[in-house]
Amino acid sequence: MKIINHLYISAIFYEIIIVNGAIALFQDSDENSTVKSQRLPQHILVIMPNWLGDAVMATPFLRALRNYYPTARITGLGKPLVQPVLAGLPLIDAATSYVMTGEGRMNISATAAALKKQNCDLAIILPNSVRAAFLAWRAGIPRRLGYNRDGRRLLLTDAIAPVRRTEMEVRQELLRRKARELIADDRQPEAGEAESEMKKISALRVKIAGWNSFQPLSAIDYYLALSTYLGSREKNRQMVLGITEAERMESGNVMAQADISVGRPFMMLFPGAHFGASKCWPPERFAKVAAAVADPHGPQNATVLIGGAPGEKPLIEAIMAALPDHVTARVIPLYKFNDGRGVSLGAIKELVRRAQLVLCNDTGPRHFAAAMGTPLVTLFGPTDPRWAEIFYNLEQQVAIAVPCGPCQLKRCPIDHRCMTGITPEMVLQAVARRWRKDAL
């Protein structure tokens, strides 16, 4: 088994796998059909997404699962990063993290051994990775439901086939790549050039490019489809989070230290994005917006709390350096609290709930705001909004159309025009429209 542990990807190439000395055959099921006449599961393991925002977007699925199997025990498993999403959440019975190695990676053998002791009879695998599917198989969980992606079909007992992009959509994506090449050469795509270039793309190239390319779909609906497969009719897309008493107390201490009394307005600002620099608006522009919101003579007259991961400290410091002197005391980085240790993600949930508004790039705390009912302004650049749709009517999205986007790239290979084209004035107008006047 040690060899399999290190070379688990090789398992997907076999139709027969030796399990505990016996030969087990993987049988195909009708993909995307509802499961019927199955024994009700007693203990369900949900392997959570790896990204913070995606984990929040999985909570409508958890609600559907809870309502469909009200007596089953549901355990959420994921990275330490997503544990604040599960903390205090009434939709599950337990939350646990992967067993990690000293290098910060998941220890598959140890995690699988721990899962075996829990006697789960159904694993629902939300990540698309082979590793996640292999973990559920290695743990001996008899039913394993997930999407048939990345060559992992043989590790699943129940699989859903995602919808692939059409030929036209693949050609359009290839054209966006061509536009990036032209812009990199200081050329602008000319009128009619796109149609001409599209005709030059061979059918073989389209087929190769579309092999692992799928229809843009909100992660909320993507995960809900798994509950539909099981038989649920739940369609509620509202995300939800819980808050523990410890998280509430920590957030109260932060507000007291920031001199934010009851009724005093404040805005939460998240200038980073774990995905990559391409999603980030320039720090000097965030500084202009923060300065306007914090201006004692401005319409908001509010404190601004800036949050971010430890690696985003230079970005936050760049914002602070660009602020005018008269507002610096009212714009406060969260990393300064708790003797420089910062504020936990759990406490940020409660701060987001109480804020007048959240301003951010397309990043995890955006989903906190939507789950907590807080007004939200989101700056979109390389992200295709169809992937990131959260169906939230208190969100104001700010974006501009560019010929090279949405590219979904972590780093812009050209001039980052999708984000630099967004002006502070555009953002301040969105802030004014969404600002919540009543303080919690």
- The per-residue pLDDT for range 420-430, each reduced to its tens digit, is 889 999 999 99
> Domain ranges in the chain?
2-161+218-230, 167-209, 245-434
Residue 323 confidence class, pLDDT cut points 50, 70, 90: very high
In the chain, pLDDT over 70 holds for what percent of residues?
82
What is the predicted pLDDT for the residue at 276? 67
Cα 198–200–205 angle (5° rounding)?
A: 90
CATH code assigned to 2-161+218-230: 3.40.50.2000
Specify the pLDDT at position 192. 55
* 235 CB-side CA count, 13 A: 1
pLDDT of residue 7: 35
β-strands 331-333, 303-306: how paired?
Answer: parallel
Helical H runs in 345-416?
A: 345-354, 364-372, 385-388
Q: Which of 161-165, 208-212, 370-374, 429-433 has the lowest mean pLDDT?
A: 208-212
Check residue 275 and give its pLDDT: 64
Give the confidence band of 248 by pLDDT, cuts at 50, 70, 90.
Answer: very high
Residue-averaged pLDDT of the chain? 85
144 contact partners, CB below 8 Å, separation of at least 6: 122, 123, 125, 133, 136, 137, 155, 156, 157, 158
Same fold, 2-161+218-230 and 245-434: yes
- Asked whether 265 and 301 are in contact (CB, 8 A), the reply is yes
**pLDDT tens-digit profile of 394-412?**
999 998 888 776 766 778 7
- Please give the pLDDT value at position 197: 62
Please determine, for residue 435, whether its predicted confidence score (pLDDT) is greater than 60.
Answer: yes
Position 229: which residue type?
Answer: Y
- Reported as a single tens digit per residue, the pLDDT across 308-320 is 988 889 999 999 9
Position 170 pLDDT exceeds 80: no
Which tens digit of pLDDT belongs to each residue from 82-99? Answer: 999 999 999 999 999 999
Amino acid identity for residue 37 in this structure: S
> CB–CB of 128/24 below 8 Å?
no
Confidence bin at 207 (pLDDT 50/70/90):
low
- In tens, the pLDDT along 370-400 reads 999 999 999 987 777 777 899 999 999 998 8
- How confident is residue 22, by pLDDT bands cut at 50, 70 and 90? very low
Asked if residue 237 has pLDDT above 70, the reply is yes
- Report the percent of the chain where pLDDT is more than 90: 63
Radius of gyration, alpha carbons of the chain? 24
Distance CA 309, CA 316 (A): 10
What are the tens digits of pLDDT across the range 177-197?
666 666 665 666 555 555 566
CATH tag, 245-434: 3.40.50.2000
Beta bridge mates, 378:
360, 397
